[in-house]
A and B are shown apart, each in its own frame.
Chain A
């Protein structure tokens, strides 16, 4: 009987997550908001995010990887989730600040969309993210070395030359005695499956939506 109830709850949670996903893809903010905020008593903000936002974004990212969805849909979904989560979890609440501090940067490239999408998804997942903007390798290393509270570095690239420069970042950080996980993403890493290992990254995300799961795995839990 207990098992049946749990199965029923799983089915309902899955249906809610899929309805939330469908609302995101329709850019239907009202329905997405309704699904995320009701019923009011059903868990705290982070629990609702885990049940609805993260599965929806993860599936959207997987569909994009497989060619079933477009980048514009991934982008808009991430932005809507980011807005909703900002409403659900004001920055000052105690539900934030317990988890790892993530630094996020674009290395050298002038195309910032990838970083923007990762930022939206990570914020939607409830992570604290420090946005470094666009930096070269030396500038990025200087910033990470200066900010000892950063637990993990995420780097977005578009061009192959910039992706290869992650090796330089890794080397300069090691020389400075600063060791922290580096997670990379962007087109060059998707097109060459072993490039992330070649440049010494700790992990690679094939889409922005994959980021929260990777960070949870590397840091041992949710935000």
Chain B
């Protein structure tokens, strides 16, 4: 079998997104945190300056040869702008603390934050711009928004949000209107800064969290409205949540790709998405922590075998963020396995 002409990461990803086979299976190591270790910084110090995040992302892409830079800092960066608390820990992603909305009634007076007034957001934009300056159009840069439907988990707490969903659609609609305005503005700002695409994190829409009929009344129309307004391509990620039973719906929201769970069969997902949505996934990031090189190779080979044929597949983890505890040697082994088994035409196939 003849080898294909080598492609840049950008060409490789765009070809896969067009549901064609590039030179090899593209892979995204969505390691937002590992750059801190690469630079010898604490996680808090790493995210305190755009320059360190740029350097961390560029260094990791050079080391592993994966096919993106990740413009994502941490999920609560948005909630910080809404007035919420961000809690840093030494060995994990910053977590959302006290939510900014203490009582549902406060939603009536809620207004979206202005992006340029919040350093936590402008730092992200500066980092994306810095990445763009370093790689130009050779490597895709992924920007991230948390969906208007999912961000209330951090805005008001999960339990209060579930109660709102069950009991007060008027306030829910008001919250979605405000969140949609912010989400579109935040996504477009990242695209203007240099992001190639926007990852729309929407775990609450997953059937793991809400049943499909509720999704169709809530998260689905929110996604349709929001994605239609964002001025660039988007990928929807369910952050470990299942999505097989709503793939047909997700395909109609206007998104181009879907981040899938390790709990579902990758081959079945690929078959269901074929020609409509590119599948991104689904290495188990939590289990990855204890893999050795042989286990990494086995997992990569299995995923490529299940979903690689015909393009429309990007190998990645299942959550959209690789845990801090995953050793760099495992990421090296994943990268090596992709280089060995991911070349098209595939040597492994379902």
Contacts and interface: CB of A to CB of B under 8 A. Distances in A.
Interface string B164-193: 011000000000000000000000000000
A69 B214 CA distance: 12
Contact of B211 (A72, A109, A162): A72
A143 interface: no
Given A67-B242, A72-B210, A110-B97, A162 B286 contact: no
A75 B92 contact: no
Nearest to A195: B286
B286 A191 contact: yes
Interface string B78-117: 0000000001010111011110000000000000000000
A161 interface: yes
Contact of A112 (B91, B95, B159, B242): B159
Contact of A192 (B209, B211, B286): B286
A76 B263 CA distance: 23
Given A75-B162, A160-B323, A110 B210 contact: no
A116 B159 contact: yes
A160 B286 contact: yes
Q: How large is the interface on B (under 10, 10 to 19, 20 to 34, 35 or more residues)?
A: 35 or more
Contact of A72 (B209, B289, B325): B209
A64 B211 CA distance: 10
A112 B159 CA distance: 8
Contacts of B93: 159
Q: Interface majority SS on A: helix, strand, loop or mixed?
A: helix
Q: Interface majority SS on B: helix, strand, loop or mixed?
A: loop
Nearest to B242: A67
A212 B153 CA distance: 27
A138 interface: no
B240 A191 contact: yes
B107 to A, nearest CB: 19
Contacts of A187: 240, 286
Contact of A67 (B96, B207, B285, B324): B207
Contact of A161 (B92, B157, B207, B263): B92
A187 B93 CA distance: 15
A192 B240 contact: no
Given A70-B211, A191-B284, A75 B89 contact: no
A192 B214 contact: no
Interface string A139-156: 000000000000000000
A188 B286 contact: yes
A23 interface: no
B166 A27 contact: yes
Contacts of A67: 207-208, 242, 244-245, 263-264
B95 A72 contact: no
Contacts of B166: 27, 72, 76
A70 B92 contact: no
A72 B165 contact: yes
A162 to B, nearest CB: 7
Interface string B243-273: 0110000000000000000111000000000
Contacts of A111: 95-96, 153, 158
A73 interface: yes
B1 interface: no
Contacts of B323: 160-161
B209 A71 contact: yes
Contacts of A188: 286
B287 interface: yes
Q: Which of B87, B92, B242, B263 has the most CB of A within 10 A?
A: B92
Interface string A152-185: 0000000111101000000000000000000000
Q: Which of B209, B214, B245, B324 has the most CB of A within 10 A?
A: B209
A220 B323 CA distance: 38
A20 B156 CA distance: 31
A191 B287 contact: yes
Interface string A90-123: 0000000000000000001111110010000000
Contacts of B214: 70, 72
A21 to B, nearest CB: 15
Given A67-B263, A75-B159, A192 B287 contact: yes
Contacts of A195: 286
B323 to A, nearest CB: 5
Contacts of B289: 160, 192
Interface string A64-93: 100101111101100000000000000000
Given A75-B162, A160-B286, A192-B286, 10 more contacts: A67-B207, A67-B263, A70-B214, A72-B162, A72-B209, A111-B96, A159-B92, A161-B89, A161-B91, A195-B286
10 contacts: A67-B245, A71-B210, A72-B165, A110-B97, A113-B157, A164-B91, A191-B240, A191-B286, A192-B284, A192-B286
Interface of B: 87, 89, 91-93, 95-98, 153, 157-159, 162, 165-166, 207-211, 214, 240, 242, 244-245, 262-264, 284-287, 289-290, 323-325
Interface of A: 27, 64, 67, 69-73, 75-76, 108-113, 116, 159-162, 164, 187-188, 191-192, 195
4 closest A-B pairs by beta carbon, nearest first, are: A161-B92, A191-B286, A113-B158, A70-B211
